[in-house]
Amino acid sequence: MASNRFDVVLFGATGFTGSILLEYLLTSEYSRVTHAVAERNEEKLRSTLRSVGDRLGEDLSSTKVIIADSGDPESLAVMARQAKVLVNAVGPYRLHGEAVVKAAIENGAHYIDVAGEPAFLEKMEMKYNTLAKEKGLFVVGACGFDSMPCDLGVHFLKRSFKGDLCYVETVFQNHYGEAGYTASATTYDTLIHSLSEEKIDELRRVRSKIMPEKMPLSNFKPPKRPVVSYFPEVKGYVTPFHGADKSVVSRSQYFDLTENQERPLRVKTYFRGQSFFWASAHPLWLEAFRSAVQHKWARDVLRRHPEFFSFGMFSREGATREQLNQ
């Protein structure tokens, strides 16, 4: 890989996640990592550099700026040719992600994102896994705060367990301070797209392509639980989690089977509510949301008012600085 490339090019540096990633790149831990930032709007990009610089007490005016747009393949190619690793923070990924994956692979850059969308992640594996292998490149999706720890946690348990491990139950929960926590509305938009397009995603067909061999799973299965149940291990009530964790872990288990001849595990993923009330409200809200997004007029209304319709779980501004610090 050419030495004149930046170690990391961060695409989408002006967004909620992108600006946080930029701050991490500027810490002393990454002082030897050369980086550039990319965005379709140069003015917004330089404004973000100024605000992050003011917050950190640094002058970031000399940071390399690359203008790229997910709707402009040539600009993406120019960006990818300048990166050893291309970090994509532009979502929803089902709308904007594939062009970036394609540009990275075709132009010799490793690719990382924080997608939490099973349909996107699995379709990218189906379409680009062979080409990435041929070029010796890594495409690593779902590097957010939930799926990566879940996958690595299952891997660690599998390696460390002294016995025959047949299944794993995982629990995802939010930890936050007195200021609470508000997620970015990009995640909310992703949920709207994912639920409204479930029928056309054809995940069963995609999974038969990327995991054609039948997995020899153990006859010992995770216990059947009600929609809301108490987990003494986490001292709280849980409900099934419908994010990307199960998709990510299942594909890793398939890799262990086909590449390492290891028997795969069964996995069930759960979300821990802050109380019995919130654990019970979550699946009810999700089903109501799923019904609503089948109608275009409802999707338009939901997009305009994320905070109201999510009971404060999401907002266009995302988490405040106080919430992040706590």
Question: CA 123 to CA 107: how far, in whole Å?
Answer: 20
Strand ranges inside 41-121, DSSP E: 64-67, 83-88, 110-113
Domains present along the chain, CATH in parentheses? 6-140 (3.40.50.720), 148-325 (no CATH)
Tell me the per-residue pLDDT of 188-244, one tens digit each, with 9 for 90 and over: 999 999 999 988 889 999 999 999 999 999 999 999 999 999 999 999 999 999 999
Chain-centre distance for alpha carbon 51: 25
Mean pLDDT to the nearest integer, 8-23: 96
SS3 225: coil
Q: CA triplet 46, 142, 173: central angle to 5 degrees?
A: 100
Q: 22 and 100 in contact (C-beta within 8 Å)?
A: no
Mean pLDDT to the nearest integer, 305-315: 94
Mean pLDDT to the nearest integer, 159-170: 94
pTM for the whole structure: 0.93
Question: CA 231 to CA 237: how far, in whole Å?
Answer: 6
| Average pLDDT of the chain, as a whole number | 95
Under the banding of pLDDT at 50, 70 and 90, the label for residue 7 is very high
Tell me the per-residue pLDDT of 17-43, one tens digit each, with 9 for 90 and over: 999 999 999 998 999 999 999 999 999
Q: What sign has the CA pseudo-torsion 33, 36, 38, 41?
A: positive
